[in-house]
Homo-oligomer: A and B are copies of this chain.
Amino acid sequence: ADGAPRYGLIGQMVAQPGKRDELVGYLREATGAMPGCLSYQIALDAGNADAIWITEIWDSRESHQASLKIPAVRAAIAKARPIIAAMPMHVETVPVANI
């Protein structure tokens, strides 16, 4: 329910030049089965050809932290890391509406 305590993340990632689609592919791989992940949205930044935005909703901070230990997630992070040039924005949130 909307009133439940939840944990969110909103972040911007900048890929190495020309590597944005590859980065999106790795992020998609990572999100196959993550317990407690209620929403995971990936969007291309219309104003920066190398940038993406990720908006996440989790049932708890603990579920997000646990996801980082899932083998498929660890493998995707390992592939993504070398093509991430920067993470200019990374904000923790408390989601209050998901319509």
Q: What residues make up the interface of A, taking CB atoms closer than 8 Å to B?
A: 8, 10, 24, 27-28, 31, 37, 39-47, 53, 55, 57, 91-99
Contact = CB atoms under 8 A, between A and B. Distances in A.
Contacts of A95: 41-44
A47 to B, nearest CB: 7
A-side interface mostly? strand
Contacts of A47: 91-92
B99 A53 contact: no
Contacts of A40: 97-99
B97 A53 contact: no
A93 B44 contact: yes
Given A10-B10, A24-B96, A97-B28, A91 B41 contact: no
